[in-house]
Each structure stands twice: as C-alpha cells, then as structure tokens.
Amino acid sequence: MRNRDRGSASVELAILAPILLTFAMLMVFAGRVVDARTTVGEVAHAAARAASLERTSGAASAAATSIAAATLQEQGLACSDHSTSVDHGGLTAGGAVSVTVRCTVSFSDLLGVAFPGSQTIEGGATVAVDTFRGTP
C-alpha cells in the first residue's frame, strides 16, 4: 500500500503550480489597476487645484493640462494616451473647478510577460475657488 502513494506529491505540485502562478499574476494585475486609479485621482486633484488658482479660463485649462502631464510623469504612470478636460465654472469666487483626467494604461510590460490589452482609467476632482479671491 505504501508504494501506491509514491510520487503523488510531485503530481500535486505539477497540477497546483500553474494555478498558483496564475493567481499570483492576477493579483499583480489587480494591484496595478488599483494603483493606476489612485494615481489618476491624485493627478486630477493636483490639476484642479492648479486651475482654481488661475484668473482666466484659458490659463486655468493650460495650468491643469501641464500639471496633469507633469504629475503623471512624476508619479511614474506610463500612459500611452492621456487627456485632461476642465470645467472652470467661470472662476468666480466661491465657485468650483472640475477636472477629469483620462489615462490609457498598457499591460504589455506586466511581469515581463506579453500581457495583451490596455485599460482607460478616469479620475476626477472638484476644487473650490477661494471665496476671498480679489478681482484681477
């Protein structure tokens, strides 16, 4: 009877190893998506804050776009394509500025394996314009 179980541990390992490896890769994939969503949200907040400090709608859009691009690069999020949209709300004192940032993240460099596909991640933030803001 003892000889019938001989080598069963090797067979079990051969069956379970690919399953465990796949599970580990899925966890890394999920972590990467969550990290990208958090980063894009932070980028949107930084861009909205920069836009809320400007006096004109053109300057607000330019500030939001440049801060979003710089912060994405600083955070190390490699977007194959990104866009920034700004709703300045007239930049009136007590108003609000809303910014939406979209970033397309590729998964081709995931764990050194050619993982197909990409995902567009969107983050938004709204920041109040200072109530005691003076006129230009």
- The pLDDT profile of the chain, 136 residues, written as one tens digit per residue, is 456 666 677 888 888 888 998 888 888 888 888 888 999 999 999 999 999 998 888 999 999 999 999 999 898 888 888 899 999 888 888 889 999 999 998 877 665 666 677 888 999 999 999 888 765 5
Whole domain around residue 12: which residue ranges?
2-128
CA angle 18, 24, 28 (to 5 degrees): 140
Please check whether residue 29 lies inside any domain of the structure: yes
Please check whether residue 134 lies inside any domain of the structure: no
First-last CA distance in the chain: 92
Please check whether residue 136 lies inside any domain of the structure: no
Please check whether residue 102 lies inside any domain of the structure: yes
Count the domains in the chain.
1
CA distance 71 to 39: 9
Please check whether residue 51 lies inside any domain of the structure: yes
